[in-house]
Amino acid sequence: MKTRNGNKWCLLAAAVALATWATAAQEAYRVDDKSLLNGGKTGDEWLMNAGDYAQKRYSPLKQIDASNVKRLGLAWYYDTGSLPGTLEASPIVSNGTLYGTVTWGVVFAVDARTGKELWRWDPQVGHQNFPPGSAGDPNKVRTGPSLCCGPGNRGVAVYGGKVYVGTLDARLVALDAKTGKVAWEVQTADKNADYSITGAPLIVKGKVIIGNGGGEFAVRGYISAYDPETGKLIWRFYTVPGDPSKPFENKAMEVAAKTWSGDGDWWKLGGGGNPWNSISYDPQLDLLYFGTGQAGPWVQKYRSAMGKDNLYICSIIAVKPDTGKFVWYFQTTPGDEWDYDSISDLVLADLRIDGKVRKVIMQAPKNGYFYVLDRKTGKFISGAPLQKITWAKGLDPKTGRPIINPEAHFGTTPVIIWPGPGGGHVWQGMSFNPQTGLVYITPGAATSFSYIQAPEFKPELGAYNWGIIFRDASGRGTGPVAAGANGAPRPPPPPPTPPAGNFLFGWDPVTETERWRAAATGGGGTMTTAGNLVFAASNAGDFEAFSADKGEKLWSVKLLQGFANPVTYMLDGKQYVSVLAGRNKGRVYTFVLDGTEPIPASAAAAPPPPPPAGTAPQAPTNQNQQ
């Protein structure tokens, strides 16, 4: 009897222990600060937008390598049901679930093994703004955000059982990772202001870091940190100064204000400088890095005295993640008039330069140069042109400050400048492979643009506040339309970089030279692996793999046109490669060695919903902008 009861107690104890272990195991799988610090080290998961805090987009996985990549086949696909627009998100893979976003900020979660949908969440963002000319009219109601360049979204962050996403109407939303139900949401900007969020959040030291877009509408840029459990604002760092008659938020803004003085009322316009994309973090130096966009309006005389730097537009900025305290900056394009955002990926690496290992931060912004900086101090190490550049004659070899071509400052007579506002490299992720020491960048083409001032400029809420005139293919100007005149139709955005001439190249950041080039590639971002591979895409819809050391094309498959950034992960002993593609009804495609799923036929394009009466449609998608 005693033995039997003892067995019962043993069984009960075992059951309790098993339940406790299961609960503990479940808790252990919750993404925490340690998980993120180790993100990218094993390659099993893809926990951040760029794979790790250093934004390398590199995976140590090598089950798929240069010798067997030709065996890649489709494992599964997921029809996202997205509305027309560019898909830009890097999927996040955690706990066997793949999370992603599509146009208009819709979030989805699917089984990373099969592609089966687990849940889907729609932020219910209005698809039209109020008509231009309605500023100050109480009878006109805003039904959607003002968007620069289409309804894109570049992804989510995962942490503590939640999924975090920014919306086009500037909300930061926390979703339950298992159900997709809203845990909390906070308005990060006045909902009646022209702010939007298209970039992915980053979790650093238990804080949700997020920037915003809106520079095309001349709002004042800033980056913020929020509590992941409550959504409470912890700190905020503005990127351009406010009203100089009021106390400055910090010393950095006081210094910046001196570079904006003049006749222009920049604090009334906003000033721009929005950090709408890249955020990275160095745990050893405890520095958070982010890039800022162009000023608003584009034409400097409409915002400030000519010849001023206008800090901190078009800059790389380092702050302390706990407080947002300013540490250093490096400005790639002082006084920018050409829309040369510095929001591209900020890649951290340790490079041997002149016989010494340097902790560097690298960026290829829209102005056409490739920069290598000391990431502790922000000091310039080197810089070199990636393509044709006419706005500057070169970089000062000591400071990295551009030697601006005086002829690049345009007036009411058209001036053709290389590159144009589409830039040579924008949001498409670049990757760095520590084995080869190369950076992989695409698209690698740049186009020119004819810049011309609008003779008059009057800012208007909800309209593009560029201060320039756009010209159509016939050379005719759009006149005051682009100047933001009241009552005028909404102007078109800057044209995207055309497919012709795009290429992928392997760039040596130490010698600042091109090691290899793959032509006709440049339809999305890149990802590189320890298997001596680089994954990229073409504008024609080809998803491709190249050898990382030599740039030899090893594999290609035809998918939908319009690619985001690929990722890779390991489940059940199998390495998978996933990518979002498609400008109409997009898909997630996931590949594995010897995958046998047939490539699905292209989905028919879904027409956009008709705008309600009395509203103006949003601008068409431009993949090279915010």
Determine the distance from the C-alpha atom of residue 621 to the mean position of all C-alpha atoms in its chain, rounded to a whole number: 15
Please report, in angstroms and rounded to a whole number, the separation of the first and last CA atoms in the chain.
Answer: 75
pTM score: 0.90
So what's the pLDDT on residue 461? 76
So what's the pLDDT on residue 193? 86
> Helix or strand or coil: residue 34?
helix
So what's the pLDDT on residue 5? 40
So what's the pLDDT on residue 386? 92
Tell me the torsion sign for CA atoms 318, 324, 325, 331: positive
572 phi, psi to nearest 5 deg: 50, 40
So what's the pLDDT on residue 495? 43
Tell me the torsion sign for CA atoms 218, 219, 223, 226: negative
Determine the distance from the C-alpha atom of residue 65 to the mean position of all C-alpha atoms in its chain, rounded to a whole number: 28
CA distance 490 to 471: 14
Calculate the alpha carbon distances from 409 to 51, 344, 406 in Å: 39, 24, 6
Contact indicator for 499, 519 with CB cutoff of 8 Å: no
> Helix or strand or coil: residue 184?
strand
Contact indicator for 305, 262 with CB cutoff of 8 Å: yes
So what's the pLDDT on residue 315? 98
User: pLDDT digits over 7-29, tens only?
Assistant: 444 444 444 444 433 333 334 47
CA distance 284 to 209: 18
Q: Of the listed 52, 309, 336, 339, which one is catalytic? A: 339
> Helix or strand or coil: residue 135?
coil
CA distance 420 to 448: 5
Omega cis (within 30) before 566: no
User: pLDDT digits over 404-455, tens only?
Assistant: 999 999 999 999 999 999 887 899 999 999 999 999 998 666 688 999 999 9
CA distance 567 to 45: 9
CA distance 195 to 300: 21
So what's the pLDDT on residue 622? 40
* Domains of the chain (ranges, CATH numbers): 33-608 (2.140.10.10)
Residues 6 or more apart from 415 whose CB is under 8 A from it? 407, 408, 409, 450, 451, 452
CA distance 346 to 327: 16
Contact indicator for 527, 566 with CB cutoff of 8 Å: yes
Q: Which two tokens stand for residue 472?
A: 């159509």
Classify residue 492 by its DSSP letter.
P
Exposed / middle / buried, residue 81 (Cβ in 10 Å: 0-12, 13-18, 19+): middle
So what's the pLDDT on residue 269? 84
Q: Which helix (H) or strand (E) holds 322?
A: none
Share of the chain above pLDDT 90, in %: 72
Determine the distance from the C-alpha atom of residue 119 to the mean position of all C-alpha atoms in its chain, rounded to a whole number: 24
So what's the pLDDT on residue 218? 80
Calculate the alpha carbon distances from 451 to 324, 394, 402 in Å: 36, 21, 19
Low pLDDT (below 50) residues in the chain? 1-28, 472-500, 604-624
User: pLDDT digits over 362-403, tens only?
Assistant: 999 999 999 999 999 999 999 999 989 999 999 999 999 999
Give catalytic status of residue 339 as yes or no: yes
Q: Which two tokens stand for residue 523?
A: 């339809």
User: pLDDT digits over 94-114, tens only?
Assistant: 999 999 999 999 999 999 999
